[in-house]
Structure formats: structure tokens, C-alpha cells
């Protein structure tokens, strides 16, 4: 019950903060940043050395050193602010199947799939994870979550019905978000967790029987559910405040529009990482994602960690997690490509927005140029090209050899052939990067793009060598 009361207080605080002028939110952000740095200097040997001589009250964030996933895993024991936590013991705990979904000494454990090498382990304190739940309830993706409304629901035998079709396994980030729900909150929020490993017929059957009011799903799963709904096999989300929430993969405009039209409900998008779950969320206007300034300090930078101009895409993000001092992540590198704008949103919010998250910079395809050096093919360039073709439902680009690519396409209609105009349009983009005809593009029609077996997410681009 104490965890529930903490969550209710946090929900109230985050809802109030949502109405503050952005200048006031930046004051809150600054206060949390100074407290985090002071805590890290005192309790984390890694940060004590790294931030030696830095005054928490006078620091300039963009002058601090950065850290990455390799550093996190190599120096984990020195980074955490609890000296009794040891990575070897945590990994041993996570390796036991019986511990799936269990907390470790009151802490929530998350393991991200990563793109290569060793998976990243993240530890959240119990109070920090309650903050994650609170901000998700307070902002955007759930129906009215005011304290009075939650108490009303607690007395209502009809709990809010939420379904999530996500990667199973107790340590996957998206799954953990729903697994570690305060016991008392189940009085008013009922969650049906469905593994995306299940056959689509089983997923549809369970959703149809459950009749959720809110549906959480990866965009790749959402596309399948849209097809099922259009075929008349799925009829859900009939509540007056029903909605769809996309997470974990980039949500392209076509899928968002199709989901809104098919289900007749608003579609929201959440952006986060295992290292900092609630980074940003969209509003009903869908014009970018509002950044949770009081949860994270976010910087869009180039390869040299220099800030890029407003509205321009960087090559990575630097995040500072402001709510989980147990694992102080300060200017931590994410290889996601995004742009930020400070222009007001049509919803009226003045919060800065992520215009788009275009995937990961370690999923770029590098093409050797005959004159020397390399040219980069970004997946979003392919996506924007394919959006012009109505029949293209899904895609994946694989680099078979340095100058040989294969484009797998899921297409509407019964023709087995890949339409020549589609291949020609993508080939034109390749010929603009390198001398015409140097890159060979093969096309293949497939029934479905398979998800990565480790992460459960669909990777749009499979480079021959992942490097930037």
C-alpha cells in the first residue's frame, strides 16, 4: 500500500508539473540534475573520479564527460551508488529462470538486447520505478489518471482493462514496465500481458476475449492487428476513452494513421530506453513527442558530442537520467538519431519535442566509394521513399555484400512480383549516393518481416558491418 500511496503522490506531482511554464520545469530539471551529480560524487566511485572538481551548483552539463554502454558494463560496480550491488551477482540472479520478473533486493532489473556484444544490465531502485509508473499514468498514454479518478476506480469493480502485446521475459524493458505494477493498483488497473511470440491467431483470440480499453504494442505487432481488424477477426477498443499506445520501435506515419482509422481511437507514441524508460511521449496531435524535462536531460549531438541546431538531426543522443540515483547515468550515449524542436505544439504545450526518432545510428549501412572513403545509407531515407507506395506494408533492408543489398517487402495484393517502380525508386536513392549502377539492389516479396529473436523487435536494417 505504501508503494501505491507514493505513486498517487507522484502522479499528482507530475500532473501539476505538466501545466507549469517550460521555464519552471527547467528549474525543476536543474534542481534534480544538481542533486543527482552531488549524490553521484558522494556515493559512486566512478563518478567521484570522473567529476572530480565539478561543483554541482555551478556545473554546465555540456562540459561534463560522456559515458557509453561499454563503460557501464565494464565499470558497473563502481558506477552504482550502492556498494553492495555487484554485476556478477545480478547476472547470476537473472540467469535463473525462476527469477524472471522478480525484484532483486527490492530493485527492478532490466536487460536491454543491444545491437552487438554483451547485453546491458540496468538496475532501478523501487522508488525510481514507481516514478516510471506514475509519469506514465499522469501523462498522455492512459485515460484520466488524476488522484481522485484513481481512488474512484479503486472502489469501482470494473477496473481499467489494459492489454499489452510485447516481448515476454521478466527483464525486457517494455515487459518490466507492466510486470512490476504495485499490487494495490490492480484494484483499478487490470493488465493482460500477451507474448508477441504467440501465433497471431492466439493473440487475436485473447484480445477478442479480453476486450481491452487500452492496447500497448510494438508498431510491427500493431500492423498485424490492423490487418486482423480489417478482416473482421478483431473487434476491440470500444470504450469511449479507448486508445492505442505504440512503444519500443519507431512509429511511422502510415501505421499511426492506419491504426487510428481502423480502431477509431487516438494513437499515442512513447519513446524511452532501458536506461531511462520515460523519455518522451506524444499527444493526441501526434506532432512529435513531448520530452519529460523533469525526468531526463536530453541532448541531440553529432559524432563529436557537439549540439546540433534546433530541428536538425544529430547522430546520437546524450541522456541524463534524473530520477534513478541508484545507477547514475550522466550524459549517457544512445545511438538513436533524432531531432528536437522548441516550437509550440498544436496541443498548446511549450515543452520541447522530439520531431522523430529515426532508428539507431549503429544500424546504418556503409557503402564503400570507389574514390575512397564511404557513404552512409540511412534507413529513414529508405522509409521515406517507400511511404510513397501504398502497396508497401512493411520492409527490411539487408546488406549481403559491401555493394549488394536485398530489400524484403510485405505487399498488399496477390501479385508475387516486387513492383518495378518500388525497386527503381530505392535504386535511385542508391545511385545518388554512389556512381549509378555500383550498388546492386535485389527485391524479394515476403509474407512477414520476422522479429529479432532476442529483443522481439523488428530491425529494419541489417548491415553487413555495424559501425559508424
* Closest CA relative to residue 122, chosen from 272, 336, 291, 295: 272
pLDDT of residue 113: 58
Rounded Cα distance between 77 and 81, Å, is 9
pLDDT > 50? residue 239: yes
The Cβ-side half-sphere exposure at 408, using a 13 Å CA radius, reads 15
Model confidence pLDDT, tens digit, residues 246-282: 988 778 888 899 999 999 999 999 999 999 998 999 9
Distance CA 121, CA 196 (A): 22
pLDDT tens digits for 319-347?
A: 999 999 999 999 999 988 889 998 888 88
% of the chain at pLDDT higher than 90: 48
At 343 the pLDDT is 87
Whether the CB-CB separation of 399 and 375 falls below 8 Å is answered with: no
| Distance in angstroms (rounded) separating the CA atoms of residues 332 and 353 | 19
Give the confidence band of 360 by pLDDT, cuts at 50, 70, 90: low
Backbone angles phi, psi at 97, to 5 degrees: -55, -30
- Per-residue pLDDT tens digits for 162-195: 999 987 766 878 777 777 766 656 666 788 999 8
For residue 82, give Cα distances in angstroms to 320, 324, 325.
19, 12, 10
**Which pLDDT score is estimated for 19?**
77
Share of the chain above pLDDT 70, in %: 86
pLDDT at 117: 43
**CA-based angle 251:357:350, to the nearest 5?**
100
DSSP 372-386: SSEEEE-HHHHHHHH
Rounded to the nearest integer, the mean pLDDT of the chain is: 85
464: exposed, middle or buried (Cβ count in 10 Å: 0-12, 13-18, 19+): middle
Torsion of CA 98, 100, 106, 112, to 10 degrees: 150
For residue 454, what pLDDT is reported? 61
> What pLDDT does 467 receive?
40
pLDDT digits (tens, 9 = 90+) for 390-449: 788 888 999 999 999 999 998 887 777 888 999 999 999 899 888 999 999 999 999 888
- Compare 170 and 102 and report the one with higher pLDDT: 102
Question: Could you give all domains of the chain from N- to C-terminal order, each with its CATH number?
Answer: 2-360 (3.40.50.12780), 364-462 (3.30.300)
What confidence tens digit (pLDDT) does each residue in 13-39 have?
A: 888 887 788 899 999 999 999 999 999
Q: Residues for the chain: how many in total?
A: 468
Q: What is the pLDDT of residue 468?
A: 33
Among 297, 317, 301, residue whose Cα is nearest residue 309: 301
Amino acid at each position: 500500500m505504501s508503494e501505491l500511496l507514493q505513486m498517487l503522490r507522484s502522479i499528482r506531482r507530475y500532473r501539476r508539473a505538466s501545466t507549469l511554464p517550460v521555464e519552471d520545469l527547467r528549474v525543476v530539471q536543474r534542481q534534480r540534475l544538481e542533486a543527482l551529480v552531488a549524490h553521484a560524487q558522494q556515493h559512486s566511485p566512478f563518478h567521484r573520479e570522473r567529476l572530480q572538481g565539478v561543483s554541482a551548483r555551478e556545473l554546465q552539463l555540456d562540459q561534463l564527460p560522456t559515458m557509453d554502454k561499454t563503460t557501464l558494463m565494464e565499470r558497473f560496480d563502481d558506477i552504482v551508488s550502492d556498494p553492495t550491488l555487484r554485476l556478477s551477482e545480478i547476472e547470476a540472479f537473472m540467469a535463473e529462470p525462476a527469477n524472471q520478473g522478480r525484484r532483486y533486493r527490492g530493485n527492478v532489473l532490466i536487460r536491454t538486447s543491444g545491437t552487438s556484444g554483451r547485453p546491458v544490465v540496468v538496475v532501478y531502485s523501487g522508488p525510481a520505478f514507481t516514478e516510471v509508473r506514475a509519469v506514465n499514468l499522469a501523462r498522455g498514454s492512459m485515460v484520466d489518471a488524476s488522484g481522485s479518478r484513481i481512488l474512484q476506480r479503486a472502489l469501482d469493480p470494473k477496473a481499467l482493462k489494459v492489454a499489452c502485446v510485447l516481448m515476454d521475459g521478466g527483464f525486457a524493458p517494455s515487459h518490466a514496465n507492466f510486470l512490476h505494477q504495485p499490487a494495490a493498483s490492480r484494484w483499478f488497473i487490470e493488465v493482460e500481458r500477451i507474448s508477441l511470440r504467440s501465433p497471431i491467431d492466439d493473440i487475436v483470440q485473447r484480445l477478442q476475449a479480453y476486450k481491452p480499453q487500452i492496447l500497448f504494442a510494438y508498431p510491427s505487432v500493431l500492423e498485424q492487428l490492423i490487418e486482423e481488424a480489417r478482416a473482421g477477426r478483431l473487434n476491440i477498443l470500444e470504450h469511449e476513452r479507448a486508445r492505442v499506445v505504440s512503444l519500443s520501435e519507431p512509429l511511422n506515419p502510415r501505421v499511426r494513421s492506419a491504426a487510428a482509422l481502423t480502431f477509431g481511437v487516438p494513437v499515442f507514441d512513447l519513446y524511452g530506453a532501458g536506461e531511462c524508460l520515460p523519455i518522451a511521449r506524444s499527444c493526441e496531435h501526434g506532432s512529435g513527442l513531448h520530452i519529460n524535462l523533469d525526468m531526463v536531460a536530453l541532448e541531440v549531438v553529432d559524432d563529436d558530442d557537439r549540439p546540433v541546431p534546433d530541428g536538425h538531426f544529430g547522430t546520437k543522443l546524450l541522456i541524463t537520467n534524473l530520477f534513478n540515483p541508484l545507477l547514475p547515468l550522466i550524459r549517457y550515449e544512445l545511438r538513436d538519431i533524432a531531432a528536437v524542436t522548441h516550437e509550440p505544439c498544436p496541443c498548446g504545450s511549450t515543452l520541447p519535442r522530439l520531431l522523430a526518432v529515426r532508428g539507431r545510428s549503429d544500424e546504418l549501412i556503409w557503402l564503400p566509394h570507389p574514390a575512397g572513403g564511404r557513404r552512409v545509407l540511412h534507413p529513414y531515407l529508405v522509409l521515406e521513399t517507400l511511404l510513397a507506395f501504398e502497396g508497401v506494408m512493411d520492409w527490411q533492408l539487408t546488406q549481403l555484400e559491401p555493394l549488394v543489398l536485398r530489400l524484403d517487402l510485405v505487399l498488399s495484393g496477390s501479385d508475387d512480383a516486387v513492383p518495378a517502380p518500388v525497386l527503381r525508386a530505392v535504386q535511385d536513392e542508391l545511385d545518388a549516393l554512389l556512381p549509378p549502377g555500383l550498388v546492386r539492389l535485389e527485391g524479394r516479396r515476403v509474407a512477414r518481416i520476422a522479429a529479432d529473436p532476442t529483443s522481439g523487435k523488428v530491425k529494419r536494417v541489417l548491415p553487413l558491418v555495424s559501425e559508424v
